[in-house]
Amino acid sequence: MDTTLPGTYVLVLHMHREATMSIGRLGSFRFPTGYYLYVGSARGPGGLEARVARHLRRRKQPHWHADYLLRKATAVEIWKAPSTKKLECLWADAMLSMPNAKKHVRGFGSSDCGCP
């Protein structure tokens, strides 16, 4: 798979213990222990590989909402799909339709597409 292409990705994150953290301009939120799915798109230089590698770097200035969550959570899986199609909202909607799934923070991760 050529991951220098643009595409959509999911970070499967595990929050080992409850944490309260500030998420940029969204404010401060409590994140209970558990699993979180962060759906993102990578359309810039380097595509999927560069975006995911940046998220996984330990030392970085937070830019995307996932960067804030990764200060306390661990990435346990990464799903990537190279595509020029904009699939981020479709994937997020599909994941929210799963049993017991919920959007934890309104506006989290949807700063460039307008997903609810």
* 3-37 residue pLDDT tens: 689 999 999 999 999 999 888 788 899 999 999 99
SS3 call for 91: helix
Assigned domain for 108 exists: no
Assigned domain for 45 exists: yes
* 47-103 residue pLDDT tens: 999 999 998 988 888 888 888 899 999 999 999 999 999 898 899 889 889 998 888
Range of the domain at 51: 7-96
Annotate 10-33 with three-state secondary structure: EEEEEECCCEEEEEHHHEEEEECC
- DSSP state letter for 59: S
Q: Taking phi first (over 0 means left), then psi (-120 to 50 degrees means alpha), and beta for anything else, what does residue 58 get?
A: alpha
Residue 97 sits at φ, ψ, to 5 deg, of -85, -5
Assigned domain for 1 exists: no
Assigned domain for 54 exists: yes
Assigned domain for 2 exists: no
Question: What is the pLDDT at residue 76?
Answer: 98
Assigned domain for 42 exists: yes
Assigned domain for 116 exists: no
Assigned domain for 14 exists: yes
| Counted domains in the chain | 1
